[in-house]
Structure 1
């Protein structure tokens, strides 16, 4: 049996503008809570749409162009996402003005926050800023404000975004996960061995956690 005192390592490859990443994490968090699983979460960068311009794109138009979705299909998808989020306490507020953004700056801030043990908090704050509060995440001052709200230094956050000092580290991290075969998010890796893709639902995540607890080390 796995040593119950050894925390389960969970690596999550995700993007801030991925709604199912927010949902999937919420489902996993609830499963971890219900199963009382000791764990350590490590977030990793992935850009769903690296060619997105800095000012972003209208989300509905972007989805229609990328997937060929009709308005009815788009509305149905938004309804599914909103319902799934509500089930784990995450609020989505989609409107006709909802936009998707280039997330490279955000991943650099997350890399910096990780050095201070605050990456998880910043990731959650960015999810909420984007999907719940419709903040303009193309603006660096807005990103710096979000960092400051969780206790990070606002002026340092701005400086990092201006000089792009962590750009190469983020690119290398993204390339690493691509080389591991990650092509969609969320991708969740348990104990650096077991890959699960997508938002699986609380009950499925609970089953996965129970199965992992029974595996030999």
Structure 2
């Protein structure tokens, strides 16, 4: 929803956004974990209905996902894509694969499939991920999020304004942007 909000706001505000990698649940096993086990008692059906209602204005649809993915490899793929001028496409593709198609984005095959769909050389991406080419960047991003006391995604920073945490209403963003008119928006998440 955060990305949808930013894209909608770009229609009215001069926003320069940067999305940085942030592992919300780094303790998740590489194979992922069942949502029902990670969040016992959470009503996923109710959550999906709520998410779809809130995200409808941004044309984002959530499926009934059952797996909480370990996002580490997907975030590294995002950094590979950033270096190749395709971060937005990879970010959107992985988001869609995870939350709409309900696929495990911690799985190399899923990541390579998303990369292929956006026109990437999947073998180059696989080599980079297998060799850990983006580990230092992910470590640096994790340090930055700790230094800024970021504990949730998305977290938005608008110059000279209090941070905005979570996928909140667009009115909150408009008020902050109106105060900071003409200044950039840095997004960590």
TM-score by length of 1: 0.77
Could you tell me how far apart the structure 2 residues matched to 1:93 and 1:74 are?
Answer: 10
Q: CA deviation at 1:194?
A: 4.5
CA RMSD of aligned residues (A): 2.0
Partner of 1:81 in structure 2? 51
1:27 and 2:8 equivalent? no
Partner of 1:50 in structure 2? 26
Partner of 1:139 in structure 2? 107
> Which entry has the higher C-alpha Rg, 1 or 2?
1
1:108 and 2:84 equivalent? no
Equivalent pairs counted in the alignment come to 183
Runs of at least 5 residues in structure 1 that lack an aligned partner in the other structure = 1-22, 65-69
Tell me the SS of whatever aligns to 1:41: coil
User: Which whole-Å deviations, capped at 9, do the CAs of 1:174-203 have from their partners, x for residues lacking one?
Assistant: 111211111111101124865211112123
Runs of at least 5 residues in structure 2 that lack an aligned partner in the other structure = 184-189
Q: CA deviation at 1:166?
A: 1.2
Equivalence map 1:104-183=2 (5 Å): 104-183=72-151
- Structure showing greater relative contact order (alpha-carbon pairs closer than 8 Å, 6 or more residues apart): 1
TM-score by length of 2: 0.87
Could you tell me how far apart the structure 1 residues matched to 2:113 and 2:182 are?
Answer: 44
User: Which whole-Å deviations, capped at 9, do the CAs of 1:82-121 have from their partners, x for residues lacking one?
Assistant: 21122321000115xx211111111111111111221111
